[in-house]
């Protein structure tokens, strides 16, 4: 399977004056319009999760997939 484009976002909270913010903002983002194989995307997600979050605790992961007809 080939994925034609993807957008990956990691949300988190910020600390201001020693207090945790109540709103989440985008902390990291990766987008691409270049084709990637499904297995490569899974490996990319694993690497990003480790790089972006390390040992800071678990994050919920939400995935949305859209299949569209090709323009012929």
- pLDDT tens-digit map of 8-58: 999 988 888 888 888 999 999 999 999 999 999 999 999 998 899 887 667
Indicate whether 72 pLDDT > 70: no
Residue 22 lies in a domain: yes
At 59 the pLDDT is 81
pTM: predicted TM-score of the whole model, two decimal places: 0.78
Instruction: Answer yes or no: is 69 within a domain.
Output: no
Query: Considering the domain boundaries, does residue 68 fall inside one?
Result: no
pLDDT of residue 57: 63
Its domain, for residue 22, covers 2-53
Question: Taking 90 as the threshold, does the pLDDT of residue 60 lie above it?
Answer: no
Place of tokens 């994925």: 3
| Interatomic CA distance for residues 4 and 36, integer angstroms | 7
E-strand ranges in 1-72 read: 2-3, 6-12, 15-16, 19-20, 25-32, 36-37
Q: Which helix (H) or strand (E) holds 47?
A: helix 38-53
């Amino acid at each position: 399977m080939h994925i034609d484009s993807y957008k990956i976002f990691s949300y988190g909270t910020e600390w201001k004056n020693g207090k945790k913010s109540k709103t989440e903002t985008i902390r990291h983002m990766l987008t691409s319009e270049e084709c990637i194989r499904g297995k490569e995307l899974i490996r990319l997600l694993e690497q990003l999760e480790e790089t972006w979050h390390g040992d800071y605790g678990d994050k919920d992961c939400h995935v949305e997939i859209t299949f569209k007809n090709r323009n012929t």
